Structure 1
């Protein structure tokens, strides 16, 4: 109990200042860092209990699902094939970059691919171990991607696109009518339990996350969500559990191995960012958007920073967020299929899983058995 108390207190202490400076998913990042520190000093718990990990996945799945509004995807109009095509292109770029990262001896091709998938960072970290990847590597590289994209966005928007941030549209930030907290909580519990159960029955990989996510998206699109909103205290708790899950699994040897792959990971992240910026130019040309709106719609991460920038610059917020939602959902639902394909290809090519990192994290979170 003392170890859990120290872990919680330290995580909250790190989360608060990170939240104040606008770090995305601050609780997950803080939990990851604190979990690593306590694991390396042998002062933390042994690990996150399985049921808590599954519950955290479910809460996160519902939370991501609520991003899909009934009228948001309709704003894509006749341009949705182009948006989907750009998202698929981003996925292919991620897989290629992951395969290049997987050429290193200390990381498997599967782990490399999951680590560089450009979307749904917290969701991918949550299910990485279950899919057979190393969630420690996935967590570090995914949040490095989010951090680099988020940090570079103000510079790119100002220096390259010369955006005018005085055009903010206050009406864009007005939330839709929300259900009372107790109704949202009841719907959340039903979605998490039903989604995970159905997901297990149909053998859906990552059922704890993708089952509730799929049900929530169905409710939002059909208009029967009743104003569902996930209480932020539960979202933060879910982020912490997922961060701890990866952080507490670290050892000194695995930390050294992750450190050695960071230069290659940073180079590949930058390459993905440049390539997606090019796809943004194409999207803007085909849909009549401004170059800035094309860049924001195809940004490979930092969705909250994207939304804030779109509002501040008077951009087409509904189109931008709809395109971002398509990207995130595609990445999350394609990841399990991609994982199976990478494992199959690795076996065909005689490439085993990483012995240096992945072997210590092979025990899956059994939510799809």
Structure 2
């Protein structure tokens, strides 16, 4: 049987097999969002080698978006955000400054003839990479470009953060440990099920772009605030499933022409990302100047991505983990809450 004769069953086996193998290998290599990367390549492997169209059912992708929203929502602690207290105004200023840096970076990317303003903005927006990727197409952006650029930024952050931390701040190590947790109990399953069902039902009622992510996210925050489920998290297997479905969906939309186009973008994208990471580090310096917080804590609080690695670094160096978590989550919530308005504004502007 030739590649042109590949049946849907063989195509599904190919996608699933590559996804599983790559996800395991990338997890061993400690690559962030390993399942999303593995599934992205799995979807591409079929899309680039066969003319047969393979697509996920719409309900599966909506469910994946909802699970990503709940995963993000489970991290949002109202008590943690409230702990920002009197530092809220400087944090708002720095957050808006970081968003402005992201938009400038996105506009620079959009100067390239093959990238729209909406795609450039959401490819470069700093924070909530998994959430932005999940809703990129709903917002009118090219989710293929957004996925590649978002996770390239995360990779650059993860590579540069230890170097900057060691070279600039010279912290001690081994002072603490941050554990993200591994949800598997019945309370976590109940929390996820309730948030997903209620969230997706409400999303069908309100009907706005990104509702399938933002409404379950909001429901998850509300449920977490009640304390009924303790400190719940989405079970890891369900997180893997959500990232896998999103990665496959994006990968299946690749063509050889789109892959070549993205490859041509990468040198420019890398330069913009490095400049953006440096500019957000300056935002950290501004935060340290405006508040009593130390320089390392401020730097970690303003890094544009890699949340769990940032929190682990903060704990290991003795920085204020709660402060870092609160600032990072504040920016994430702001970005995800205003993505529909931002997309509408960018689409309504004159020009390409």
Q: What is the TM-score with the length of structure 2 in the denominator? A: 0.92
Farther-moved stretch of structure 1 (186-195 vs 18-27): 186-195
Quick one: structure 1 residues 37 and 295, their matched pair in 2 at CA, closer, same or farther if it must change by over 3 Å? same
SS at match of 1:22: coil
User: Do 1:166 and 1:313's aligned partners in 2 also have CA atoms closer than 8 Å?
Assistant: yes
Q: Write the distance in 2 (CA, Å) between the matches of 1:64 and 1:45.
A: 32
2:48 aligned with 1:40: yes
| Contact residue 303 and residue 324 of structure 1 kept, 8 A | yes
The residue number in structure 2 matching 1:86 is 94
**Bigger mean CA offset, 142-151 vs 12-21:** 12-21
The 1:43/1:20 distance shift into structure 2, 3 A limit, reads farther
Secondary structure at the residue paired with 1:160?
helix
Structure 1 distance, partners of 2:246, 2:85, is 36
Which position in structure 1 is the counterpart of 2:6?
Answer: none
The equivalent residue for 1:96 is 104
Instruction: Give me the whole-angstrom Cα distance separating, in 1, the residues matched to 2:226 and 2:52.
Output: 44
Distance verdict in 2 for CA 1:58–1:270, change over 3 Å? same
Whether the 8 Å CA contact 2:209–2:340 is kept in 1: the answer is yes
Corresponding residue to 1:327 among 320, 325, 331: 331
- Give the deviation of 1:102 after TM superposition: 1.2
Contact 1:149/1:301 (CA < 8 Å) preserved in 2? yes
Helix, strand or coil at the partner of 1:193: helix
Instruction: Specify which of 187, 191, 195 is matched with residue 183 of structure 1.
Output: 187
Structure-2 change in CA distance of 1:68 and 1:300 (3 Å): same
Aligned counterparts of 1:125 and 1:320: Cα–Cα separation in 2: 23
Structure 1 window deviating more from structure 2 (45-54 vs 130-139): it is 45-54
Question: 2:319: which partner in 1?
Answer: 315
Deviations 1:128-155 (A, max 9, x none): 1111111001011111111111111111
Partner of 2:3: none
CA distance in structure 2 between the partners assigned to 1:44 and 1:316 by the alignment: 52
The 5-angstrom pairing of residues 38-117 of structure 1 reads 38-42=46-50, 46-117=54-125
Contact 2:23 2:38 in 1 (8 A): yes
Corresponding pairs, count: 344
Q: TM-score scaled by structure 1? A: 0.88
User: Corresponding residue for 1:219?
Assistant: 223
User: Whole-Å Cα distance in 1 between the matches of residues 69 and 234 of structure 2?
Assistant: 10
Is 2:298 aligned against 1:294? Answer: yes
Task: Determine if the alignment matches structure 1 residue 163 to structure 2 residue 171.
Answer: yes
What is the CA–CA distance in structure 1 between the aligned matches of 2:267 and 2:126, rounded to whole Å? Answer: 18
Point out where structure 2 has 5 or more consecutive residues left out of the alignment: 1-8
Q: Matches of 1:8 and 1:43 in 2, distance apart?
A: 18
Task: Check conservation: 1:281, 1:295, Cα contact below 8 A.
Answer: yes
Quote the residue 1:274 is aligned against.
Answer: 278
Cα distance in 2 for partners of 1:68, 1:236 equals 20
In structure 2, the partner of 1:244 is 248
Shift of 1:44: 8.0
Q: Does residue 138 in structure 1 map to residue 146 in structure 2?
A: yes
**1:195/1:174 CA distance change after superposition, 3 Å:** closer
Match of 1:26 in 2: 34
| Structure 1 residues 144-155: aligned runs within 5 Å | 144-155=152-163
- Aligned match of 1:259: 263
Distance (Å, rounded) in 2 between the aligned partners of 1:242 and 1:144: 17
| Contact 2:84–2:323 (Cα < 8 Å) also in 1 | yes
CA displacement 1:264-283 (0-9 Å, x = unmatched): 21122112111110010111
Q: Report deviation, 1:9.
A: 1.9
The alpha carbon displacement at 1:174 in A equals: 8.2
Alpha-carbon displacement from aligned partner over 1:196-228 (angstroms, at most 9, x marks no partner): 232332233211111100111223345444432
1:209 to 205, 210, 213: 213
CA distance in 1, matches of 2:203, 2:93: 27
Counterpart in the other structure of 2:201:
197
